[in-house]
Chain A
Amino acid sequence: MKLYLHEIMRTVPGREEPYMASVLSVVERPGRRDAPDHNRQLGQFRSAETSGPFPLVINIWEHSWRSQAAALERQFADAERDRGMEDWWNRNLHLRRGGYDRLLIPTAYTPDAAGLERAGVRGRVFLHEILWLPLGAVDDYLAALDQQFMPVARRFDWQLVGAYRVSQRPRQALALFALRHWSDLAGLLAARAHDAELRRWFDQRDRLVDDLHELLLLPGRMNPLGIRD
Chain B
Amino acid sequence: MAVYIHERIEIEGGGRGRFIELIRGDWAAHARERYAVRLAGVWATVGSTANWPEVQLLWEMDDWEHFARAQQAQYPLEDKDAFATELWFRALEYRQRGTALLLEPAAGAPGPERREARGEIYLYEDVRSRPGALDSYHEALVRDYAPVAASRGLALFGAFRCALRPNRGLNLWELRGGWEHWREVMEGELSHPGAQKWLERSREWLAEIDGYALAAPPAQSLRT
Contacts and interface: CB of A to CB of B under 8 A. Distances in A.
Interface in B157-189: 163-167
B98 A53 contact: yes
Contacts of A210: 131
Contacts of B75: 48, 124-125, 182, 218
Q: Which range contains the number of B residues in contact with the other chain?
A: 20 to 34
A125 B7 CA distance: 19
A21 B80 CA distance: 21
A54 B98 CA distance: 5
B71 A54 contact: no
B218 interface: no
B89 A14 contact: yes
B71 A125 contact: yes
Interface in B91-118: 92, 96-102, 104
Interface stretch (B40-48, B61-69, B142-150): B61-69
Contacts of B92: 13-14
Binding site secondary structure of chain B: mixed
- For B67, B76, B98, the residue with the greatest tally of chain A CB atoms inside 10 Å of its CB is B76
Given A13-B92, A182-B72, A207 B100 contact: no
B107 to A, nearest CB: 9
Contacts, number: 93
A185 B68 contact: yes
A191 B5 CA distance: 19
Contact of A206 (B69, B76, B134): B134
Interface of B: 5, 7, 63-65, 67-69, 71-72, 75-76, 79, 88-89, 92, 96-102, 104, 131-132, 134, 163-167
Interface of A: 13-14, 48-55, 124-125, 127, 129, 181-183, 185-187, 189-190, 202-203, 205-210, 212-214, 216, 218, 228-229
Given A13-B97, A206-B132, A206-B134, 4 more contacts: A49-B7, A51-B164, A53-B98, A55-B97
